Amino acid sequence: MNDNVKQPKTKWHMLFGKLLEELLVPVGIDVYTEFPLMSNPPEADILLLKKNRKGWSQDQLKLLPDGIRDRPADHILIEFKYTESINEKAIKQTLGYDIFYKRSHKLPDNKVATFLVSAQKPGNKILNKFEYRFCEKPGLYKSNNYLLERIPLLSLNELENTPHNVFFKCFASRKKEKKNAFDVIRSHGLETYQASFQWFIAGLWENWFNIGGSKMEEGLTPERVIEIGKMWGKAYLSSLPPEERLAGLKPEDRLAGLRPEDRLAGLRPEDRLAGLRPEDRLAGLRPEDRLSGLRPEDRLAGLRPEDRLAGLKPKDRLAGLTIKEIEEYLAKIKDNQKD
């Protein structure tokens, strides 16, 4: 084997884009990677999020980080930097992407929002040079420079570990920030998401913390991450408490595969029968078992008089009646027969 052959490098924006695709497409946000900014250009290492409706829905806001969730634009451009820190070249490139995209698609400024997203914290020197200032939300920087005021910087290491930020923070450069993000995702019920997203998250976890460490393997692709997630996903999910594994599942999915006796284990008798029709409650019981424990009057409730007496001997039918009551009844029958 030739050791001089260069291994393909990991395209970090493709992995980041795959996470956003699995996460956001189900809630109505289209995600594109390596798309052309204009006719006959080189493809840009940039992501595009496109809304399918006006404004963000509540389901979408739960998945979008500070900064992006605050912008009403229909087109969100993201230049993502993982291994390299933000520098002058990255800022100029992002500004160019913003200009070319709006010009090529004939879109006004308010329809497009462009972000430079960094896994690492930006250095003070570059922040000061381009007049970026720390905003009211941790991890979000905005520029006083006229050309850059519409291009915020997003530092994933510095974003708060709130539920709507943690999906982006899975790609923070600091191991501690990554782990905290994964913990929040799992605590809110990973089972609520589609299987492919679960596999991708499990694959990322396995690569970040077990297989390759923070550097990951060279040439890692989204398909490889999902493949790893399928292999190791059960081990990843097995570390969840039972209530977190079941979170978001429909009742029928929680009970799937259990024997009838296991489904009912631990329930009170009245809870086991709740919702059943009377005939279903008694199904399979012998007649004597159906009546067991009932008072005599309850056993006969609802039966017609002839049904109550069916099968009784004459002496049993008359038991308890006085001679006078019997004679009056016989006289009534004789009168009816005369008529």
How far is 142 from 275, CA to CA, in rounded Å? 59
Query: What phi, psi does 225 have (nearest 5°)?
Result: -60, -45
| Residue 57, burial from CB neighbour count under 10 angstroms (0-12, 13-18, 19+) | middle
More confident residue, 190 or 215: 190
Three-state SS at 113: strand
| Residue type, position 318, single letter | L
pLDDT in tens, 139-183: 999 999 999 999 999 999 999 999 999 999 999 999 999 999 988
How far is 226 from 76, CA to CA, in rounded Å? 26
What is the chain's alpha carbon radius of gyration, rounded to the nearest angstrom?
35
Q: What is the mean pLDDT of residues 334-338?
A: 74
pLDDT at 277 over 80: no
> Which pLDDT does position 155 carry in this prediction?
96
How far is 339 from 336, CA to CA, in rounded Å? 5
Identify the CA nearest to 11 among candidates 63, 46, 36. 46
pLDDT in tens, 321-332: 787 877 777 787
pLDDT in tens, 245-262: 554 445 665 565 566 666
How far is 308 from 301, CA to CA, in rounded Å? 9
> Which pLDDT does position 321 carry in this prediction?
74
pLDDT at 231 over 90: no
Edge-to-edge strand list for the sheet holding 153-155: 29-33, 46-51, 75-81, 112-118, 153-155, 140-143, 132-134
pLDDT at 2 over 60: no
More confident residue, 121 or 330: 121
> Which pLDDT does position 185 carry in this prediction?
87
In sign, the C-alpha dihedral spanning 102, 152, 86, 145 is positive
pLDDT in tens, 8-38: 577 788 888 888 998 999 999 999 886 655 5
DSSP string for 243-273: HHHHTT--HHHHHTT--HHHHHTT--HHHHH
Query: What phi, psi does 79 have (nearest 5°)?
Result: -95, 115
Buried b (16+ CB within 10 A) or exposed e, 92-112: ebbbebbebbbeeeeeeeeeb
Confidence of residue 76 (pLDDT cuts 50, 70, 90): very high
pLDDT at 284 over 80: no
Confidence of residue 314 (pLDDT cuts 50, 70, 90): confident
| Residue type, position 179, single letter | K
> Which pLDDT does position 35 carry in this prediction?
63
> Which pLDDT does position 290 carry in this prediction?
66
Confidence of residue 40 (pLDDT cuts 50, 70, 90): very low
Q: Compute the residue count for the chain.
A: 339
| Residue type, position 245, single letter | R
